[in-house]
Amino acid sequence: MGAIYFIRHGQASFGSNNYDQLSPTGHEQGRVLGHALKARGVVPDLIISGSMKRHQETAINCLDTMGCALPMELHQGVNEFNHENVIEVSEPRYVDKLVMMGDMAASGDPKRTFQTFFKGAVTRWVEGDFAHEYAESWADFRARCVAALDDIVKQTSPKGTTLVFTSGGTISVLCAHLLGLSDAQAFTINWTLANAGVTKLLAGRDGLHLISINEHAHLEGGDKSLLTYR
């Protein structure tokens, strides 16, 4: 059977002017991941990445460490949902990032306050009652991710190995799809996905099999700062 590894990107640059780039920790997570995949004997013959910068940077760090020189195929179908749009629809004042950061800072616990707000914003989006307000509705995002999975399965040879560098929202949707979970349950997966974590599928004649979700042992036991979730 063909093996497909869905890899969440390394830690992005939350709080900076450009979220869509890896932090120094994110770059190191990609390299640690590369060592781990090489140690377990993973030899890919197809590399797919979302078109976001954080996806591609994670892929480059990982593949360079593995000594893999395969070309990278960009696939917008595995891109993350537009989290900025989800935030701004929920709270229009947050079109100005300085306003959002000021509100979070005033709480005394910016990270926790943001996480609570963001969960509420995502819940509103997923529930679908206001789908027309978003650049991409939850239903459209879910359909896009599932269509991308079908495409990737077709590209994966029967005994091949595909690495897919993507985001937590995409991985959560695909896991929920394969497990038959509800939309609301999909994001219970998302909140616990580690940066540079691995989710593995096997594709065979009898269909798709979800083998593991959120493998991240390679980020444990050493530098504690390498295990991050946002």
Specify the pLDDT at position 101. 87
Q: How far is CA 178 from CA 2, 149, 225, in A?
A: 16, 11, 32
d(CA 204, CA 56): 28
pLDDT attached to residue 226: 93
pLDDT tens per residue across span 79-118: 999 999 999 999 999 999 889 989 989 988 888 898 899 9
Reported as a pLDDT band with limits 50, 70 and 90, residue 230 is confident
Residue with tokens 């690495």: 163
3-class DSSP state of 45:
coil
CA distance 220 to 184: 29
pLDDT band of 223, cuts 50, 70, 90: confident
Which of the four pLDDT bands, split at 50, 70 and 90, describes residue 20?
Answer: confident
Q: List CB contacts of 3: < 8 A, sequence separation 6 or more.
A: 156, 160, 161, 162, 200, 201, 202, 203
What pLDDT, in 10s, does the model give residues 29-46?
A: 999 999 999 999 999 999
Give CA separation, 123 vs 36, 119, 129, 213, in Å.
34, 6, 11, 22
